[in-house]
Amino acid sequence: MNINVGDVVQMKKSHPCGCNTFTVRRVGMDFKICCNGCGHEVMLPRKAAEKNIKKIITSNGENK
């Protein structure tokens, strides 16, 4: 899965605030994603993050 910093992704499950879109802040062994609804930042292992991503909404400002 080709995910870069700054991409907006839609997750399979929503955050407790109700929003299911997140902005990718860090990519590596762990992913750091920020909720677009409330701004809460979450660290996830790469395997869990790739499994839970439904689709990439925007990639570097371009719609996919």
Is 53:10 a contact under the CB 8 Å cutoff?
yes
Q: Name the pTM for this structure.
A: 0.85
Q: Tell me the average pLDDT of the chain.
A: 90
Is 32:17 a contact under the CB 8 Å cutoff?
no
Task: For residue 13, give the 3-state DSSP assignment.
Answer: coil
For residue 5, is it left (φ>0), alpha (ψ between -120 and 50) or beta? beta
Give pLDDT tens digits for 28-55.
999 999 999 999 999 999 999 999 999 9
